[in-house]
Amino acid sequence: MMRFRFAPIPAALPATVPFTGPETLERRRGAPFRARLGANENGFGPSPRAVAAMARAAAEVWKYGDPDTHDLRHALAAHHGVAPENIMVGEGIDGLLGLLVRLMVAPGEVVVSSDGAYPTFNYHVAGFGGRLVKMPYRDDAEDPEALAAAAHRHGARLVYLANPDNPMGSWHPGRRIEAMLGALPETSLLVLDEAYAEFAPADAIPRIEPEDARAIRFRTFSKAHAMAGARIGYAIGPAELIAGFDRIRNHFGIGRIAQAGALAALEDRDWLAHVLAETAAARARIAAIARENRLEALPSATNFVAVDCGRDGAFARALLDALAQEGIFVRMPGVAPMDRCIRVSCGPEPEMAAFAEALPRALRALA
């Protein structure tokens, strides 16, 4: 018998995490990975200007970070052409998603998402007592029309959509997202996860006014800006909704070092262009490696590629394990039919070469 009585909602939940980290997997296998290609991190690294800014800020780490993230919020507002009141900075998109669910969803209220979409969002919905309704993907992409229809059927408070998508790398044109907004019930809020927006074609980004009460958008410094370890992201939305975060957020959750690094990264457009070019080259490299092994790389607007293994989820999972034995860390979608794929993050050429070397051996081991 447990000595502690948890509150009812967490007491009913399993003790779990949405993802098993590569460090945990390395401890289990007793050796480091040769190629870390499973977490969609940006192996090309952060802006040297961001690194220098964080190094300077380290000398003042004895101070709390600015709880208003004033300088970064104003820089982000200028970058996006919105007011500072339309920006909320938080501990990555993951942290902000948890705050949004806590702010907007009462126990038992419905949240609509896609079966196989980013699981951390589902984790927050369960953790705050929401009821999750999931719609299937269509043609390896989330289905905006089906999500909007489900929102009407169930009276959803929130509707989650990632564009571009994780785990498949697919994307919708912005006009389709705009049409989805018009199809939502008035009581629903679109939660638009744009973690991979910097990698996407320009026409994939919808035109949504910051004061549009139908949507809140999320961006991150974890992907294109290569600052996943700093845990810093932001939301763009109506000022009234953004102000609501102040009721529940951790006001000292973003440290000085992360704020300094994010501000410098945002200003370094040349480094971002460099990373985008390297990522595009790595996507092409992964596609070539897939073809050489008679596999199919799906089109991607992200910093990873879903590789269709041509079989079922059991085969893809076995390939994942065989690659791990070769020292290559990759992941896979968790739901059929997307689980026929493995998901390979873009990385520097030495890691791409290690993947190219290991993949045919892993496939032969399964023959």
- Residue 213 structure tokens: 């009460």
Is the separation of the CB atoms in 285 and 352 below 8 Å?
Answer: yes
pLDDT at 198 over 90: yes
Question: DSSP for 184-202?
Answer: S-TT-EEEEE-TTGGGS-G
Which whole number is the average pLDDT over 143-161?
98
The span from the CA of 247 to the CA of 92, in Å, is 18
- Name residue 110's beta-bridge partners: 131
Is the separation of the CB atoms in 124 and 158 below 8 Å?
Answer: no
CATH topology of domain 48-267: Aspartate Aminotransferase; domain 2 (3.40.640)
- Residue 1's pLDDT is what? 64
The span from the CA of 236 to the CA of 195, in Å, is 12
- Residue 212's pLDDT is what? 98
Report the 10 Å Cβ neighbour count for 209: 11
Listed residue (252, 321, 281) closest to 29, CA to CA:
321
Report the 10 Å Cβ neighbour count for 252: 10
Q: Is the peptide bond before 173 cis (omega within 30 degrees of 0)?
A: no
The span from the CA of 120 to the CA of 132, in Å, is 13
Q: Residue 3: pLDDT band by 50, 70, 90 thresholds?
A: confident
pTM: 0.96
Residue with tokens 């809140």: 216
| Tens-place pLDDT, residues 227-243 | 999 999 999 999 999 99
CA distances from 79 to 83, 114, 209, 298 (A): 10, 31, 14, 32
The runs of H, that is alpha helices, within 115-268 are: 119-127, 144-154, 174-183, 239-244, 256-267
Which whole number is the average pLDDT over 297-303?
98
Which whole number is the average pLDDT over 27-38?
96
- Residue 162's pLDDT is what? 98
CA distances from 171 to 42, 272, 357 (A): 20, 21, 30
pLDDT at 19 over 90: no
- Residue 81 structure tokens: 């052409």
Residue with tokens 């590629």: 305
How is the chain split into domains, by residue range?
20-45+270-366, 48-267
CA distances from 230 to 26, 150, 364 (A): 22, 36, 39
pLDDT at 15 over 90: no
pLDDT at 61 over 80: yes
The span from the CA of 296 to the CA of 275, in Å, is 25
pLDDT at 20 over 90: no
Which stretches does DSSP call E strand in the chain? 35-36, 87-90, 110-114, 131-135, 158-162, 189-193, 215-220, 233-236, 296-297, 304-308, 328-329, 341-345
The span from the CA of 217 to the CA of 4, in Å, is 38
CB-based burial, 15-49: b 16+ in 10 Å, e otherwise: eeeeeeebeeebeeeeeebbbbbbbbbbbbbbbeb
Domain 20-45+270-366's class?
alpha beta
Q: Is the peptide bond before 337 cis (omega within 30 degrees of 0)?
A: yes
Determine how β-strand 131-135 pairs with β-strand 87-90: unpaired
Is the separation of the CB atoms in 117 and 165 below 8 Å?
Answer: yes
